[in-house]
Structure 1
Amino acid sequence: MAKAQDKASKEAKAAAKAARKAASKERRQQIWQAFQMQRKDDKALIPLMAGIIVVVTAIFVVLALFAHIGPWWLWGPLGLILGVLISFIVFGRRVQKTVYRKADGQPGAAGWALSNIKGQWRVQQAVVGTSHLDAVHRVIGKPGVILVGEGQASRVKPLLAQEKKKAARVVGDTPIYELIVGNGEGEIPLSKLERHIRKLPGNIDRKRMDALEGRLSALKAKGSGGAAMPKGPMPQGAKMRSAARTVRRR
């Protein structure tokens, strides 16, 4: 019996190790794909990354030689490692910028951006929408309830008003924020949506968030609802978006 359990334990550990190796390999492949796609769109990427590595390494070597902080052969490799790290961070940010640029204006882009927000945010995509692919997404977080509309402003504003009225019946005195994603006056650019939401003041705690999520989940969107809305931007650049998420997690 003990031998059988020991064998099962070893097999489980081996399977877990194999799964970790496979996941690591997949992440490396995604990062490589992101690099290949980014360098085609961003001609300055490779010179910029190489320049960062060279400059940072040179700074460390110069400091070692003239400031006498230690042997250059020790500080040189440290500078190289730091340079690679900084260049990788720059690469990740440029990939993210490219992803947002390609997603901007596509139906479902705001919902996709919201679904990628890290932290304790409860996102419900396309709680109400139209056949023109306008939609309102709902986010529950410490600020309260955040309604995010995307699409033609003239069609989105009535949707926001409708959803706000509906939500107000069950959220009590919890603040309800209304945002429209776009590049027009008074609208929030897609690339700044997450930053804008994170800057909203905290008004409720996690327990209140749980209660609100339960109440709002019971509401059923009228009309076409979320059925007409894609869960994320249209297929263009899908590989880049997947790779961008991997780069952000590294």
Structure 2
Amino acid sequence: MAKSEAAKELAAKQKAARRAEKERKRSSDDPRDWGWWKQIVYAYKATAKVDKQLPLWMIGAFVAPILVAVIVAALLRGGWVMWIITGVMAGLVLAVLVLTRRMKHATLEQARGQVGSAAAALGMLNDKVWTHELGITGTRQQDLVHRVIGPSGVVLIGEGEPGRLKILLASEERKHAQLVTDLPVWVVQMGDRDGQVSLDDLAKYIRKLPKALDKYQITEVSSRVKALDAIRPRMSMPKGPMPTNARQVKGSRRALRGR
């Protein structure tokens, strides 16, 4: 009898916990807590505010496969239902792909020219694979160094005036190399000059770096790097009209890849 009452009490607690979690997600302003449809609507609205041509592109992407399906069915003189269903499914997939591409472009365009704009590109990295820290150090002239840790090891990204960044990045490279002596420390200058990586290509460039770590080694490297962060004051990111934060970008991307 006592066991039965304990089981009922446990079940009631679990049910209450599930209800509380459901309510938390319903009222959350974090896109990662939303359902997939709400996330897609959010991504569309956020992108359409800065990309006025988005509706036309998405309509075109949806309609084009349907028209192709109708033409094929007419030529074959049969299979109308199958071909139209195929066209609709292909149209939905293509429209989502267009939304994904236009959302990325709009996010980067909003960030372009802003201090700390690398945050928009770094926010597009998969946070289950890569972790990043914004503004680990910088100068009064708003030159910034960001850090990414992932399968390639430690990546230092600098944005600002190239001359000052060269000195700043060299200093950070030495500090990090002392902590991860068995791994390379990659150094990247973000910009549009020769030898730099553009904002548009930054995330892709990082993902293509040679792989050197598994997920357990990544955790170990992250722990080592925290020792460096602990002995210096944290630098706050410059305030300004950043278009979106990393959490919003990642939430929208999860929606578009089906979580």
- Aligned partners of 1:31, 1:243: CA distance in 2, in Å? 12
Paired residues, number: 244
Provide the secondary structure at the position in 2 that maps to 1:211: helix
- Aligned partners of 2:236, 2:55: CA distance in 1, in Å? 41
AA at the equivalent of 1:84: L
Provide the secondary structure at the position in 1 that maps to 2:189: strand
- Aligned partners of 1:147, 1:196: CA distance in 2, in Å? 12
Could you tell me whether the CA contact under 8 Å between 1:30 and 1:243 is conserved in 2? Answer: no
CA deviation vs aligned residue, 1:38-92 (integer Å, no higher than 9, x gap): 3454343222222222220122223233336x62123213311320221121012
In structure 2, the gaps of 5 or more residues are 28-32
CA RMSD in angstroms, aligned pairs only: 2.9
In structure 1, the gaps of 5 or more residues are none
Shift of 1:113: 2.8
Q: TM-score, normalised by structure 2?
A: 0.79
AA at the equivalent of 2:140: S
- Aligned partners of 1:9, 1:214: CA distance in 2, in Å? 34
User: Kindly tell me: are residues 215 and 86 of structure 1, through their superposed partners in 2, closer, same or farther at Cα, counting changes over 3 Å?
Assistant: same
Aligned to 1:8: 13
Aligned-residue sequence identity (percent) comes to: 32
User: Kindly tell me: are residues 236 and 28 of structure 1, through their superposed partners in 2, closer, same or farther at Cα, counting changes over 3 Å?
Assistant: farther
Match of 1:187 among 196, 200, 203: 196
Match of 2:147 among 127, 135, 138: 138
Could you tell me whether the CA contact under 8 Å between 2:42 and 2:252 is conserved in 1? Answer: no
Q: Does 1:94 align with 2:102?
A: yes
Matches within 5 A, 1:53-202: 53-67=62-76, 71-118=79-126, 119-202=128-211
Shift of 1:7: 3.4
Aligned to 1:209: 218
User: Kindly tell me: are residues 64 and 15 of structure 1, through their superposed partners in 2, closer, same or farther at Cα, counting changes over 3 Å?
Assistant: farther
CA deviation vs aligned residue, 1:172-199 (integer Å, no higher than 9, x gap): 1411211011112211111210100111
User: Kindly tell me: are residues 38 and 122 of structure 1, through their superposed partners in 2, closer, same or farther at Cα, counting changes over 3 Å?
Assistant: closer
